[in-house]
Structure 1
Amino acid sequence: MSKTTGGAADDLDSSAELAAELLRRRDEDQHVRGLLPDTGPWPSDVLERMRRIDADNTAFLKRVIAAHGWPGLSLVGRHAANAAWLIAQHSDADPEFQRHARDLIAEAVAKGEAPRRHLAYITDRCLVHEGQPQLYGTQYFDNGDGAGVRPRPIADLDRLDQRRAEAGLSPYAEHDARMRKRP
């Protein structure tokens, strides 16, 4: 297999090649999501393409982790480490892997290898998938009723901004305004 179509992560000869592949996969992830319309139903062909990309990226990130551990800042640099986190965020079809990635990101944060905000976002993502209230208010949804996006349930609202600050996130009111402003 070629390095860009799902070959083993340990086939990549250098950290630079690994970083480049993570960035390529991030770009593909974001491109397909950019094809989704702002209103109306999402086209089934685009959703299927997104599912295939997410599944391939999840499998790739699993191989990266098996070969190198979490691809943190010192291994792949800031942009590619962000790409690895984004791939883990979009690994919704594999919640067990997503929880594993969350745990690895927690370890990376403790070592200075990942920003705290990555842990906040993936923690919320995992909690939402488990049917639990999120801690940081990062996860939103739009059920198509015309009311626009709104946050998934959030635990302990009185301490929300404190948790967000500790995670390096902006105050919730600012984040909420940005999220609701999106088309």
Structure 2
Amino acid sequence: MYHQDVIEEIIALKTADLALRDRLVKEGKLFEGYHKAMEELHISNAHRLNEIIDQYGFPILEKIGKEASQAAWLVVQHAISLPSFMKRYQELLMKVESPSQISKEQLAYLSDRIAVFEEQPQLFCTQFDWDANGLLSPQKYDDLSTVNKRRNHLGWNTVEEQTQIIRAQAVNENNHCPNNLESRQQEMKLWKYKVGWLRKS
């Protein structure tokens, strides 16, 4: 059984994450690659959440409530240096028997993120990156019409509408395409091998 202090601790993990993000945005440092302080916090948060799950079980809505559930998901979504942890959480989400005890939206985002890091097509187009034209665009996906049907089933807007929102947000946060996009992509590829998203055959 989750105690209230543990629930509050999960929420605090999210609060720390967002506070650091806001600070790095204001300092103009967030979008210059994966900031070391951000990565360290993401890893630390993930390890702590993993310990909590081992001790108290998977944090379904009935156990921890909506706010803490959202916080736990954000910690997992940001734990990109720990593929095994993200995949474990995804598997646990999918094993929850009662649909009312999980968020289908959280599962969609997490599944898309895992797919993108493994260089597979995403199903809901929740993940964006810079394209060759210097615009934020959805990363690889299967069929646009099918994706929009999946998004509609979750009550979401279309990929086209979401793309405009994401691009406007980038402008608001002064997030712009890297000067050397090819170099950034190569660095990202090496990082994926380093942390284990990709494996050399």
TM-score when normalising by structure 1 = 0.81
Asked if 1:98 corresponds to 2:98, the answer is no
Q: Give a deviation string over 1:73-119, Cα, whole Å, max 9, x none.
A: 11111010000000110111111111111111223374421111000
Following the alignment from structure 1 to structure 2, what is the Cα–Cα distance between the partners of residues 42 and 176? 20
SS in 2 for 1:28: helix
Give the CA RMSD over aligned residues. 2.6
Provide the identity percentage: 26
What amino acid does structure 2 have at the position aligned with 1:124? D
Residues in 1 aligned to 2:36 and 2:75: alpha-carbon distance in whole angstroms: 17
| 1:109 and 1:115 in contact (8 A); partners too | no
For 1:122 and 1:114, the matched residues in 2 are separated by 13
Equivalent position of 1:125 in the other structure: 113
Paired position in structure 1 for 2:137: 150
Give the letter for the 2:105 counterpart: R
Q: Distance in 1 between matches of 2:31 and 2:100?
A: 40
Between the aligned partners of 2:30 and 2:90, the Cα distance in structure 1 is 29
Q: Is the 8 A contact 2:127 2:138 kept in 1?
A: yes
Is 1:60 equivalent to 2:54 in the alignment?
Answer: no
Once the 2 structures are TM-superposed, how far is the Cα of residue 40 of structure 1 from its aligned partner? 6.5
Q: Give 1:14 deviation, angstroms.
A: 4.8
1:77 aligned partner: 65
Which residue does the alignment assign to 1:160? Answer: 147
How many pairs does the alignment contain?
169
CA distance in 2, matches of 1:141, 1:19: 33
TM-score by length of 2: 0.75
Letter in 2 for 1:21: E
Q: CA deviation at 1:36?
A: 2.9
Q: Which runs of 5+ in 2 are unaligned?
A: 173-201
1:174 corresponds to: 161
- Name stretches of at least 5 consecutive residues in structure 1 with no aligned partner: 1-12
What displacement does 1:38 show?
7.8
